[in-house]
Chain A
Amino acid sequence: MGRLREWASQLARLASYMGPDKHRFLAAMALVVAMSYANAIIPVLIRDAVDRGIVPGNVEAAVRYALLIIAAGLIGGAASYTARMLQVRAAQNTVYRLRMDAFRSIQRQRMEFFDKTLVGQLISRVTNDAERVTGFLSWRLRMLAYSVFLIIISLYYMLRMNILLAAVALATILIVMSLNTLYALRVRPVYDKIRHQTGVLASVATASIAGIKTVKSLAVEDYIYRKFEAENEELYRLNVEATRISSIYGNLSFLVMGLSMGGMLYLGGRAILAGILSVGELAAFLMYMLTMMWPLRALGFVIGDIQRTLAAAQRLFSIIDSAPKSLDRPGAVCPRPEEVRGEVIVEDVWFTYHTGRTALRGVSLHVRPGEKLLITGPPGSGKSTLLKVIARLYEPQRGRVLIDGIDVRDIKSECLRRIVAYVPQEPFIFNRSIRENIALAKPNASLEEIRWAAEKAKIRDFIESLPDRYDTVVGERGISLSGGQRQRIALARALLLKPRILLLDDPVSNLDAETEKRLVEDLGEILEGRTAIIVSQRPSLARIADRVAVMVDGRIVEIGTHEELLRRRGVYYRIWKSVEGGEDVGEE
């Protein structure tokens, strides 16, 4: 019962997406009635043609009925065309709204959501699940209405012709329908497993292609291949299983139909001999059975499908529901970028990832407007997490981040992006032209601006040495670029925006010393008057930094100017000594 109520509410929700297309659906349904009537009447016309035309040898009557059959076909065809167009349009529009809603909500999701969800699953939501809903709303629903009406109308005519034969037909319909429903219920779970297994196989293949260099350098091709083969075998097994079910159950209804048509022939023959049935009527009965074969089958599938469609819709709904209504709090403000001073205050911030890893344990920080802060520390100490929290990609469980005294959660995210530019540690390079990659946040940037940014990021010479220059397409994830080239393109992206506050995560890790030096010199200039928080493992950046902070295990353990920290002879000093070389300071 609870289940039914749940279904009803899901259906109602789905219906709410129909919006203005509701009348299209209704009109389509009305036309479907007309269409099924036109098709159901044909066996009756054939009966009359046989009984009144062929048997008595009345050619004129036979021709008249033949023409009526064609007329019925024409009317049915016109109705079918119109109904289809109306309904497909309505279904597509409905699902368009649903799909956009889902996509928008994906974009609104918190970052944790992406940590927990596989990309492939999300793709499957907006493609497969949405398509299933479309298929249901457009053609399955039409099939359902068509089949129901066709069966009812056919039964009506059969009953008028002969009660006994009609009873046989009715019994057949019931048996076939339940067989088909049983079939659909049986085979659907296997189909679902097949779909899932296909996804598994695809993800094994994807990982082996995306990580091909790793696979090859470890020489584990055979190992990966065996893994693939196991999944491939499983997919084969499931498919054979589905085939077994569908060849037995799927065809069983043909057997039942055959049995009942044999029975009808026998009973009908006796009825004709007894004079209570005409030859035409027998032909009409057999014809009805043939006509109903396909709708009966469809009916079984539609019934099995309702639940699955609702499940697909539910998956889309749950993405929509799990997203916050908006990335911004009500009453969020939008400070004008040019009026922002660029003060960043982090107040006792605690942050735990969904895996249970507490990456920040009470971090407090005050970065004055225009100050440059360098953060350094061992792997996994929470440096990147801190930048992400400041950029409001993640929200802390405790504590807060203020920009110019305003809690970042109270700043509209759109505006925040114009104030704060964040370059991730592993920037994502899109498989597009270099120009589009640099002008990511400012698609209308002029070539001049792009050149300027490229110049400052020390990548201009390289780009201009390429045959297609800024129009060079860089391949998936920027594969045709060297590590340092990718890094500088990502930096150019941020510089192009000239934001008040820059958050750079490890921006020079893949640059050589000389390029780094030239870049850092320019950076010093560009950062004039801007606030910057830079994570780096190159204490060389300390030169343009006003202060340095060292993070260990989610806490800031030291903060001060470069010289102060060196004098303190603490963690920073030890890190520093290992850069300097000389003795190995690996002791704990």
Chain B
Amino acid sequence: MSGRSSASLLVRFVREAFTDRKILLIIAVSIAGSSLSTLASPYLLKIAIDEYIIPGRYEKLPLIAFLYLLALVGQWLFMTLQTYYVEVFGQRVLRRLRASLEEKVLRARLDFFAERSTGDLVSRLINDTNLVNDVLVSGLLGGIGSMLSVVGIVAAMLILDVRLTLATLSTVPLMVFIAKYFGGRIRRAYRETRKRIAKLSSIVEETVSGIETVRSFGRERMVEEEFDRASRETISAFMRVARYMGVFWPLMNLATLASISIVIGYGAYLAYTGAATVGVVVAFVQYAQRIRGPINNVVSMYDSLQSALASLERIYEVLDDPRVEDDEGIRISRLRGDIAVENVWFWYPGRRDPALRGVSLHIRPGERVALVGHTGAGKTTLANLLMRFYDPQKGRILYDGIDSRSISRRSLRSRIGYVPQETYLFPGTIMENIKLGKPDAGDEDVVRVCKELGIHEFIMRLPRGYQTPAGEAGRLLSVGEKQLISIARAMLRDPDIVILDEALSSVDPKTESRVLSAMAKLMAGRTSIIIAHRLAVTRLADKVVVLEGGRIVEEGPPRELLERRGAFYRLYTSQEMLARG
């Protein structure tokens, strides 16, 4: 991290965060108040000893004791204010950071997710924001307080006695050195422990999410060895922290004691020569002890700043990622369902070969299209482009004659019922999952759609019907059930276009054809695109499109294509032959 960029990171953060003027004012007042009262008490102690106790002036003693008490009460009051408002301020910053990260993630394009793991993103959203709050907000404000305390204490000491001040401060360079030397090392060692712990979590995550696979391939022992290794590494990382801390704290303590000793020795000499009073020396003994904390804070701030900056960088990296989906463009409320794909080329980021090479296709309103082809041919990719998850690098897609790029993504998607190849169900009940298709729908709408699609009885067979929990990522349901639920979810919104990407691949052909016929009825007059490998479904289609290696190699009504004896015929007959044996 270069100096300039970290400074600009910081400036940006401060500019964004420190906008709440009122709270900042309260914080400033309480910081000033608490540092003033912190340094007042030893000063009052000195006066008490020198001017009242030693000379034996009893009458004013209650007053001075009262003032001393007042200083301590003031210290408490300001400290309370300071801790409360600094933390509240920090929490507000934190809340905003988390919200903007989540918003960003929701708006990001799909390729943004390709190189990042879910765990990493979640950790930025939760852990990095926390660290930034701890260090930058509380730390920075606390650090300013400490800095003021140091200045105040030094000022008070200077008023009392210049020579003793120098004597007290003589070990400060040593403290600074110790704090600097160890600060960075301790921080790095801590970071190492966090990394090790993260490794442990990811092993557990992988093992538990993939437990069926782990278990059925007898991986248990290997996973255990891996976990064992990671655990041992965790121990050594923690031992490194312990070693540094074990040396650091006693050294800091020694430096403080050294400065007390110097004050005592030198103070005794000054008291002996009459150049200083006993009260002054006692007060300095206290100052020497009190200055350690603030100095330590200020010095260690430098290092924690580094690590907070690293987190801040990870946060801004996400926030600044240019790969977002804007929602600009024409807001459509209906689609007629005319789709024109014109010479579309598409490359996945990082892949050399295009996934689509010059695809052109015209789908008329109300047409039923079956998209078929070998695995890896680019069918899902074409669906991705139709949904505007990606935009083509070359060529364009027109909806009702409008370039898809000039239509607002969200309004486009809310008119399309798309069921992706990998169904995803959210933790929650089946009812909640289906309703996601149209959050303002009522329970009876859900039941109606399910009945129309012939899915109702499958759901009613489950122990709690629509209230059956789906489990994490739908693990409590069978794959076919999940697919049926996703279809209900997409159909609930009464879309103008449906795109099913192998949406029924795990469902038996009879159920599939029932659901598809029901859907055909519901979608009468509307456009549908069905990607399927089981070619029987093509009989419901007006048009079959065959993709091969990213190109459309054949297109036309199914019967015609069969007569042509080309690619579709080969695909179709190989399934037929397989079936007939």
Chain B contacts with A in 217-266, Cβ cutoff 8 A: 217-220, 222-224, 227-228, 231-232, 234-235, 238-239, 242-243, 245-247, 249-251, 253-254, 257-258, 260-262, 264-265
* A538:B539 contact, CB within 8 angstroms: no
B513 touches A584 (CB 8 A): yes
A312 at interface, CB cutoff 8 A: no
Chain B neighbourhood of A480, CB < 8 A:
114, 348
Give the B interface residue count (CB, 8 A).
188
Q: Which of the segments A8-16, A164-172, A178-186, A229-237 contacts the partner chain?
A: A229-237
The interface residues of chain B lying within 8 Å CB-to-CB of A384 are 478-479
B208 and A244 contacting across the interface, CB-CB below 8 Å: no
Q: Does A452 contact B (CB under 8 A)?
A: no
One digit per residue, 1 when the CB lies within 8 angstroms of any chain A CB and 0 when it does not, for chain B 492-518 equals: 010000000010011111111110010
- Complex Cα distance, B422 from A463, in Å, reads 21
Chain A residues 218 to 266 lying within 8 A of chain B, measured CB to CB, are: 218-221, 223-225, 228-229, 232-233, 235-236, 239-240, 243-244, 246-248, 250-252, 254-255, 257-259, 261-263, 265-266
- Scan residues 66-88 of chain A and give those whose CB is less than 8 A from a CB of chain B: 66-67, 69-70, 72-74, 76-78, 80-81, 84-85, 88
Name the distance in Å between B503's Cβ and chain A's nearest Cβ.
11
Pairs A–B under 8 Å by Cβ, sample size 16: A49-B264, A84-B245, A104-B224, A119-B205, A126-B204, A205-B121, A206-B122, A214-B436, A217-B413, A243-B91, A265-B64, A378-B508, A379-B479, A425-B479, A483-B422, A537-B509
Q: Are A578 and B536 in contact (CB under 8 A)?
A: yes
Contact count A vs B, C-beta below 8 Å: 528
Is A334 interfacial (CB-CB < 8 Å)?
no
Residues on A with beta carbons closer than 8 Å to the beta carbon of B493: 218
Contact, CB under 8 Å: A482 / B217: no
Partner of A228, one of B88, B99, B235, B257: B99
Bound complex: CA A439 to CA B250 (Å): 52
B471 CB contacts on chain A under 8 angstroms:
115
Known interface pairs A425-B479, A514-B570; A254-B75 also in contact (CB < 8 Å): yes
Q: How far is the CB of A175 from chain B (nearest CB, A)?
A: 14
CB interface residues, A 198-221, toward B, < 8 Å: 198, 201-203, 205-221
A575 to B534, CA, bound (A): 13
A86 to B202, CA, bound (A): 30
Q: What 1/0 mask marks residues of chain B from 448 to 478 whose CB sits below 8 Å from any chain A CB?
A: 0000000000100111100011011101111
Contact B533 A513 (CB under 8 A): yes
Which residues of chain B are within 8 angstroms of A50 by Cβ–Cβ distance? 264, 278, 281-282, 285
A58 close to B73 (CB less than 8 A): no
* Residue in contact with B87 in the complex, picked from A138, A247, A488, CB distance below 8 Å: A247
Structural contact, B68 and A265, CB atoms closer than 8 A: yes
Within 8 A of A (CB), among B42-93: 45, 48-49, 52-54, 56, 58, 61-62, 64-66, 68-69, 71-73, 75-76, 79-81, 83-84, 87-88, 91-92
B581 and A542 contact, CB distance less than 8 A: yes
B210 touches A428 (CB 8 A): yes
15 more CB-based (< 8 A) A-B contacts, given A225-B102, A514-B570: A54-B267, A74-B254, A218-B436, A228-B99, A240-B87, A243-B91, A247-B84, A251-B76, A266-B65, A379-B483, A428-B212, A428-B214, A465-B353, A483-B422, A579-B579
Of B183-191, B306-314, B369-377, the segment with at least 4 beta carbons within 8 Å of chain A is B369-377
What 7 A-B pairs come out closest when comparing CB atoms? Answer: A379-B480, A258-B72, A484-B375, A77-B250, A262-B69, A62-B268, A428-B210
The answer to whether A212 and B260 have CB atoms under 8 Å apart is no
Asked whether, in the complex, the Cβ of A66 is within 8 Å of the Cβ of B264, the reply is yes
Q: Are B427 and A441 in contact (CB under 8 A)?
A: no
Report the minimum CB–CB distance from A376 to chain B (whole Å). 6
Q: Indicate whether A262 sits within 8 Å of B65 (C-beta atoms), given known contacts A115-B476, A123-B205.
A: yes
In the complex, which residues of chain B have a beta carbon less than 8 angstroms from the beta carbon of A127?
Answer: 197, 200-201, 204
When chains A and B are docked, how far (Å) is the Cα of A223 from the Cα of B102? 12
A247 pairs with B479, CB closer than 8 A: no
Residues of A within 8 A of B247 (CB): 81
If A115-B475, A355-B468, A543-B578 touch, whether A201 touches B126 (CB-CB below 8 Å) is yes
Nearest chain B CB to A552's CB is how many angstroms away? 10
Instruction: Indicate which residue in A85, A440, A511 contacts B242 across the interface (CB closer than 8 Å).
Output: A85
* B406 CB–A CB distance under 8 Å: no
Establish whether residues B224 and A107, one from each chain, have CB atoms under 8 Å apart when the complex forms: yes
Q: Which residues of A contact B88 (CB under 8 A)?
A: 240, 243
B489 beta carbon closer than 8 Å to chain A: yes
Q: Is A46 an interface residue (CB 8 A)?
A: yes
Least distance between B43 CB and chain A CB atoms (Å):
13
CA distance A80 to B80 in the complex (A): 32
Interface centre among A235, A357, A431 (most CB of B within 10 A): A357
- B343 at the binding interface (Cβ < 8 Å): no
Answer yes or no: A447 CB below 8 A from chain B CBs.
no
Contacts of A364 in B (CB 8 A): none
Interface centre among A414, A420, A512 (most CB of B within 10 A): A512
Cross-chain contact B216 with A424 (CB below 8 angstroms): yes
Query: Is the beta-carbon distance between B62 and A81 smaller than 8 angstroms?
Result: no
Interface: B271 (CB within 8 A): yes
A417 at the interface (CB under 8 A from B): yes
Q: Does B421 contact A510, Cβ atoms closer than 8 Å?
A: yes
The CA-CA distance from A581 to B562 in the complex, in Å, is 14
- Any chain A CB within 8 A of the CB of B572? yes
B292, chain A: closest CB distance, angstroms: 11
A255 in contact with B76 (CB, 8 Å)? yes
Known interface pairs A225-B106, A247-B84, A513-B533; A378-B480 also in contact (CB < 8 Å): yes
Taking CB atoms, residues of chain B closer than 8 Å to A562 are 581
Highest count of chain B CB atoms <10 Å: which of A50, A201, A246: A50
Q: How far is the CB of A497 from chain B (nearest CB, A)?
A: 8
Which stretch in A149-157, A397-405, A515-523 binds the other chain?
A515-523
Are A430 and B375 in contact, with the CB atoms below 8 A? Answer: no
Q: Give Cα distance in the complex from A474 to B201, angstroms.
A: 20
Residue B505 contacts which of A59, A250, A377, A509 (CB distance < 8 angstroms)?
Answer: A509
A212 CA / B281 CA spacing, docked (Å): 68
For A269, the chain B residues whose CB sits under 8 A away are 48, 52-53, 58, 61, 65
Chain A, range 555-584, C-beta contacts under 8 Å to B: 562, 574-576, 578-582, 584
CB contacts (< 8 Å) of A122 on chain B: these are 204, 208
Q: Contact check, A107 vs B468: say whether CB atoms are below 8 A apart.
A: no
Q: Contacts A63-B265, A107-B224, A574-B510 hold; do A516 and B533 have CB atoms under 8 A apart?
A: yes
Task: Please indicate the chain A residues that have their CB under 8 angstroms from the CB of B315 in the complex.
Answer: none
